[in-house]
A = this chain, B = another copy of it.
Amino acid sequence: MVGQRIIRVAVNGYGVIGKRVAQAVAVQKDMAVAGVADVAQDWRVRAALSRGYALYGATEEHAVAMGAAGLDVSGTLDDLLEAADIVVDCTPKHLASKNIETYRRLGIRFIVHGGEKHQSTGHSFVAEANYASAVGRDCTRVVSCNTTSIIRTLSALKRHGLLDRARGTLLRRATDPWESHQGGIMNTVVPEPEIPSHQGPDAQSVDPDLDVVTMAVKVPETLAHLHYWSVQLTREASKDEVLDAFRTSSRIVFLRNSDGLSAINSVKELMADLGRPHDSLYEVALWEDMLKVQGNELFYAYMVDNQAIVVPETIDAIRALTGAEPDAETSIRDTNDSLGIGSLGL
């Protein structure tokens, strides 16, 4: 770490991403959770208090309502931002655009997530691909779960000079587990009406040179996304070469059916058994034994824990924006070590 100062991180929105970001911030040696802001007054924010995070209302009204509900409120979002070096916006899709006005007004660095457009920050972030270009910036966007996985895997192939073009089919979990009682899908699959789906162009916001096309479909499960890829390589390659290329990413791990990991539910259970908070799979989990090379074509499948995969990226983005760590490799290594990334104990 460069410097000894602790980065004070505000988390705005304590949902599926916010709670994981807060937990990950809390275990970094160079960071502390300045507090979390939210609009809820129920079990969701009580859990934040029980973790010891200072709780703030998103607005004055929310702060008053929280107080009326018996919650220990420390103030409003504005108060929180005064006490922080950087804010991570984890509010629902498209809400961040309004918050950005506040962040800019108060002159605080900020990170938004993949639900927002690239234009909202002018920079889209995946640590292994473009950490350096985020260093010292005012803001960045940590891209969505699917896009993060695409950049991690395709960048790895590209670094090895193997990537010509990639075509993917994305099976998307229908909703998040905690709210699946409020509406999901059952016994059907729902194609996303647009081909190509948005993830391909979104990946190009991080690396404009990628030749990538995606199609997506919602499936009736809540655990994770599953991607299937057909990749045109620049030349014939061996399976070992391809695996070596993927190994250049510390955030891709290999699974094998022979280890009994034959479906996404087994992998989630393993994450729980490893003691990871919220059973988080931070890595792209790629089935090594399914991966197939045929001449200059490559086929593979991997799993994406949509609630977890962007968390380490967010931690790295905090270090990059604040300039606390100018070196990508150092930040990535520190983040990985703190979250147990890269080892499934297999």
Contact = CB atoms under 8 A, between A and B. Distances in A.
Interface of A: 167, 169, 171, 185-191, 193-196, 213, 215, 217, 219-223, 226, 228, 230, 257, 262-265, 287, 289-292, 294, 297, 299-301
Given A171-B189, A194-B290, A289-B193, A301 B263 contact: no
Copies of this protein chain in the complex: 2
A167 B193 CA distance: 20
A215 B231 CA distance: 13
Nearest to A214: B299
A191 B290 contact: yes
A236 to B, nearest CB: 16
Contacts of A188: 221, 223, 263-265
Contact of A294 (B193, B213, B289, B292): B213
18 contacts: A167-B167, A171-B189, A171-B217, A186-B221, A188-B223, A189-B221, A190-B262, A190-B263, A191-B226, A191-B262, A193-B290, A194-B290, A195-B290, A195-B292, A196-B294, A196-B299, A213-B297, A220-B220
A228 B215 contact: yes
Nearest to A189: B226
Given A191-B287, A265-B188, A217 B213 contact: no
Contact of A222 (B171, B187, B287, B289): B187
A191 B301 contact: yes
A270 B219 CA distance: 21
Contacts of A215: 228, 230, 299, 301
A171 B221 CA distance: 13
A219 B290 contact: no
A301 B222 contact: no
Given A187-B222, A191-B262, A217 B301 contact: yes
Q: Identify the interface centre among A196, A219, A226, A228: most chain B CB within 10 Å of its CB.
A: A228
Contacts of A290: 191, 193-195
B292 A193 contact: no
B195 A301 contact: yes
Nearest to A265: B188
Nearest to A185: B263
A254 to B, nearest CB: 14
B187 A299 contact: no
Contact of A292 (B187, B191, B196): B196
Contacts of A219: 171, 189, 219-221
